[in-house]
Structure formats: structure tokens, C-alpha cells
Amino acid sequence: MSFLPLSDRGRLARTCRALEASFCHPSLWYAVTVTLHGDTGRRNCVGRTAASYVPMVERFGAYFQDLTLIVHGYDMKMTPDCEAVVACLGRCCRYERLTLDVRSLVRSRDIVGDLEPRTTDLDVLARLVADAYRLRTFELRAWPVYPRVRSVDMLAALQSNDKLRGCLERLSLYWQSADNSTWVSLNTVVPSPAQMLAATAHFTRLRALYVRSSMLSDDLIVDLADSRHAPLQRLGILVTYSSSRSDGEIPRIEATSWGRLRAYSPSLQVHVTVMTRMPADKLSDMLMPEMPVTAVSFMRYSQCGATNIRSITDKFCASLHKFVDYSDASGLDADIVAMATKCSHLDYLVYNGTLRSSTVRELARLRGGRWVHFRINMDNVVTRDADLEDDDDVIIKKGDDNSCYVVKIRQLAEAAADNRTEAIDQLTADVTSCIGRKCFSKNKLQFSDVGNDLTSCMKKSG
């Protein structure tokens, strides 16, 4: 700078001051995601990451309000560089929302024998919770749970912090949204129903609770309806049914218990996400009419059949707002239309299965501009009724001339010959006309065919 003229030095100084003011604005650092790598052999990469994180956290950590910490490759120990970053986060940050994702999840077979972690490593992460004093939202996506090592029990660390007893309002444990593409492990060791009951009894100001079905119990629902608790507003349940595991059974909760909770928390909304394939009667037994279910979602590897949709429609026609199905269902056109017709509050629909183009038009017409979110997988939209006559399980068929052909290849060829593209374009135009708004794309609100999805996110303009 000494070689610059005085006027240029003045302009440069003013520019630097303006940049400093911009970078120090709290809104720029409100939500941050810190990603660390464990002992995976990439020591140089980890060292550089720690060297860049620590000075930044020391300078701007006081502005971090929504902190997400992801640790990849945790294998019984952490590197000193990772420990330095985590310790700096706990020392400098004043977060109100904390999300922990310490991968990978510990499965049942991982705790057989004497396999145990180095408690000093996990203690560094646990202190992020144990020493927090402004935490209102805590989300634990993944954490290596070892039942024999109580000192690394994150739920116990959370309860040991008396400052959070009347502060914590939202608690999410091993729960995943159906919209999250991250793989969810079924055989994860999660807190028992007794541990969850102790946790909810400790945090009496909870407004939202997200757990797996194996963590629920009748006693927990009854306890949440006790007058010493704040009325619950949101309950998320990730259904992880497994017929081969004792802890994979659906918990038995009495209808009277749900009725008590609903009466005590009149604004309660229950969101149910089905993770695995399960018998329709098992899911029907779990979803009782006394539950104030407002959202039901089926993840990619679950299964949604006609029985499921009819049961949901009959039980929750007065409360259902959201229905999401990422499975590859087919032959459910009439049931989907019946759900949209009977469930007067349904305004959020995501369907990945096979539908006729006429069904898509009917769904768009039924709700029109009242759809908040409307998404159909265009790859599975049938524009020719003849395509539905073929059985999905039939791979090869015999033609009229006694020659064999592959069914799927024949369908693709016929679809191309019948100008499928034009039919899809016309369908898009018709849906746009019914909804009366531009559709949602990846980056902005407009109608577009992004990722072969017909997506319309009806958000009020202005």
C-alpha cells in the first residue's frame, strides 16, 4: 500500500472497512455447517481443515446460532485436529439450534463382544450439549451408541445439563424426513422406551418431539399429556418395523392414551413416516383414529398399497394435510383421487408411483390453486391406457407372429412413436392452467421439468 497514491489508499481503506462490516454482520453467520473427517488416512486434508476452521470460529463463532456438525468416518477415535475444532466450537459458539451427525451409525452387530469407543473422543462431542446454555432445538441424526458405556450416551449428556430443563423446545432423535435422500439404517441402536420416558420427564417445555417408533410407549404418551408438560405441538414418528427383531415391533399404545394427549394438546400435529415395508394391518393398527395425524409419508423402500391409502383416508379425512409416497406403487389411481376428494384439507401431495395422465389432470382440478405442493414423477405418468394392461412382473411376452419381445423395450418404442413428449407437454399445460400459478423448479418458482419431475409448488406470489 505504501506505493499507492494517498487518494487510492483512502479508497482502499474505505473498501476494506466496508468488507469487514459486511463479513461481521450476524446474519451471514447465523446458520453454519461444519464438516469434519475422522481418522480415514487423509491426515493432511484434516489438518488443513482444522487450521482454517479454528481461526474462523474464534473470530465469528459468537454469531453461530444454527450449528450443524457432521463427522465423517468416525471409527472409535478422532484425530487431534478434529478435537481442536470441536473444542473451539463449544468454547466460542452461542448456538440455539444444534444438529449432530456423527457417522456412521452403530449397528447391533457392532457392539457384540468388547468393541467400545475411546470415551475421551466422544466426550469432546458430548460437551457440546453438556455445556450449552441457550439450546432450544437439538437434533441427533446419527450417534455411536454403546449401551455398556454410559459416559458417551448423548441423551444422558443432554439430561445432565440443568440449564436446558426449561429451555429445550424441540428434540429430534434418529429421525429422518422422507424428503431426505440420506440412507437410514434400520439396525441402529437407539434409546429404549424407558430412556425416552426419562428424557421427556426431564424436559417439560418440549413443543416438538421426533423419534422412531421403537422408542415410543404407552407410558410416554400418557406422560406427555401430564399437566406439568407444555402442550405438544408436533410429534414425528419414523416407523421402523422389522419382523426379525424384537425392538422392531410396533409399540402398543392405547386409544385412550392418544385421546388424553389430543385433549391436552389441541394443536398437536402427528407426522408419520414409514421407512420399511410392513403388513398393511400392522400399520393400520398403529394409526388409530384418535391420533391427530396431519402428514403421512412413505419412504423410497417402503410399500404403499390400496389398503393403506383407504385406511388413511377413512381415519384422517378431517385432519390430513400432507401425503407423500416415494415408493413405486401402481394401480392406485382411484384411491389417490378418492383421498384428494374426501380429505378436504389435503394440500401437499408427492407421488412417485404410476398414474394415468387423466388422473393427474383430475388431481390438479380437484384442488386447483389451493395446492401448496403438487409433485408427480413424469417418468411414471402413463399417456396410453394400453401401457397399463401389461403386468409389471412380465418381462418377456410372445407376439402375434410367435416371436418373443421384451415388454419394457416395446413400451418405450411405442411411447416414442405415439409422441409421448407432446402428450406430456399438453399435460403440463393443463396442470398449469388448473393450478393457476407457475410451477416450482430447482432454483426458482416456475413451471419446469427438472429431473423428469412435474413439480408445482403453489406459493402465493408477493
Q: Could you tell me the three cell numbers for 376?
A: 408427480
Flag whether 43 is in a domain. yes
Does any domain span residue 200? Answer: no
Average pLDDT, the chain: 80
CB 97 within 8 A of CB 128: no
Q: What DSSP letter does each residue of 80-147 carry, written as one string?
A: HHHHHHHHHHHHH---SEEEEEESSPPBGGGGSSS----HHHHHHHHHHHHT-SS--EEEEEE----T
Domain encompassing residue 57: 1-168
Asked if 135 contacts 96 with a C-beta cutoff of 8 angstroms, the reply is yes
In a domain, 380, yes or no: no
Cβ atoms of 356 and 382 within 8 Å: the answer is yes
Return the CA Rg of the chain. 26
Q: Of 104-113, 298-307, 350-359, which gets the smallest average pLDDT?
A: 104-113
What does the alpha-carbon distance between residue 212 and residue 246 come to, in Å, rounded to a whole number? 14
Amino acid 135: pLDDT? 93
> Is residue 132 assigned to a domain?
yes
Residue 184 domain-assigned (yes or no): no
Cell of 26: 450476524
Task: Report yes or no: 218 and 253 within 8 Å, Cβ to Cβ.
Answer: yes
Region 49-56 average pLDDT: 80
- The whole-number pLDDT of residue 211 equals 94
Query: For residue 298, is it within any domain?
Result: no
Question: Distance between CA 212 and CA 279 in Å, rounded?
Answer: 18
* Three-state secondary-structure class, residue 435: helix
How many domains is the chain built from? 1
**Cα→Cα distances 324→135, 302, 329, 344, 461, Å:** 31, 12, 12, 16, 24
pLDDT value of residue 74: 58
Start-end of H helices in 237-325: 255-264, 280-286, 306-316
pLDDT tens-digit series, residues 235-265: 999 998 888 776 678 899 999 999 999 999 9
More confidently predicted of 80 and 417: 80
Alpha-carbon gap, residue 77 to 152, rounded angstroms: 13
C-beta of residue 426 within 8 angstroms of C-beta of residue 410:
no
C-beta of residue 309 within 8 angstroms of C-beta of residue 317? no
Q: Given this model, what pLDDT does residue 440 score? A: 58
pTM: 0.81
Question: What ranges make up the beta strands (E) of 9-49?
Answer: 31-37
At a CB cut-off of 8 Å and minimum separation 6, what does 124 contact?
A: 78, 83, 86, 87, 90
For 85, the grid coordinates are 475444532
> For residue 336, is it within any domain?
no
Mean pLDDT, to the nearest integer, of 383-409? 64
Contact in structure between 294 and 270 (CB atoms under 8 Å): yes
Residue 283's pLDDT band (cuts 50, 70, 90): very high
The span from the CA of 362 to the CA of 381, in Å, is 13
| Domain-located, residue 262 | no
Which segment of 73-82, 220-229, 308-317, 329-338 scores lowest on mean pLDDT?
A: 73-82
pLDDT at 269: 97
110-122 residues labelled b (16+ CB within 10 A) or e (exposed): bbeeeeebeeebb
